[in-house]
Amino acid sequence: MIQVSGLSKQFESTKVLNEIDLTVSKGEVIAILGPSGSGKTTLLRCLSFLENATQGFLTFNGKTYDMTRVTKKQIRSIRMKLGFVFQGFNLFRNKTALQNVTEGLTTARHISKTDAEKKAHEMLKKVGMDYRSDFYPDELSGGQQQRVAIARAIAANPEVILFDEPTSALDPELTGEVLSVMKKLAEEGTTMIVVTHEMSFAQKVASHVIFMEDGVIVEEGAARDFFAHPKEERTIRFLKKSSIDYDYSI
């Protein structure tokens, strides 16, 4: 579904990503781990063209793009098939939960208001938030806001959803409700790329795990093998310092 080759990103003299290769198959859940500053978020932002890559090629559904030469039309076409869930929710503060979900459907996809609201209610119900459809973000907890953000992302029927540390802004007691929604999406076969610090989620839900540091992929593999038999010394040290005892009822 997605293949990235030679992806690099440089900010002035700092190389944040260095020759990243990545393959994502339909239905996979890819967890990207690593210390802060390792390039994880920049990778997602380059995939969605929120950042301009310095070099690299992206193959998406059989079409290959030079990531340094994509047109606005091509970017729009790619984004129509991608969902993005940000760590800061990015909800419109002056719109209700329902309006936050319908906004993209009516403006970007030109769906009628009636159909958009029907779809939005379905997605809010899916994430357990339809009973709060008339509430504004300031009236919702962080976990509830993030579930609305997930409803917004899945309402457009994306082929891949990118999650950028979706629980990092949440109190631990609110983390479980978001991870449970993500687990449900994974069980339904949703293709996801998830930057996360939640080791339990990566261990129990991800099909493939990538460990990054200093802009490169240090190690990757099937989730079970990655956690049971890490090969690189840096990966071993990272996992020893990271707790994987959290359950959050996943």
Sign of the torsion formed by the C-alpha atoms of 161, 224, 217 and 180: positive
Residue 244's pLDDT is 53
Token pair belonging to 210? 């990538």
pTM of the model: 0.92
Residue-wise DSSP of 31-84? EEE--TTSSHHHHHHHHTTSS--SEEEEEETTEEEETTS--HHHHHHHHTTEEE
Residue whose structure tokens are 């940000």:
86
pLDDT at 243: 59
Given a cut of 50, the residues of the chain with pLDDT beneath it are: 245-250
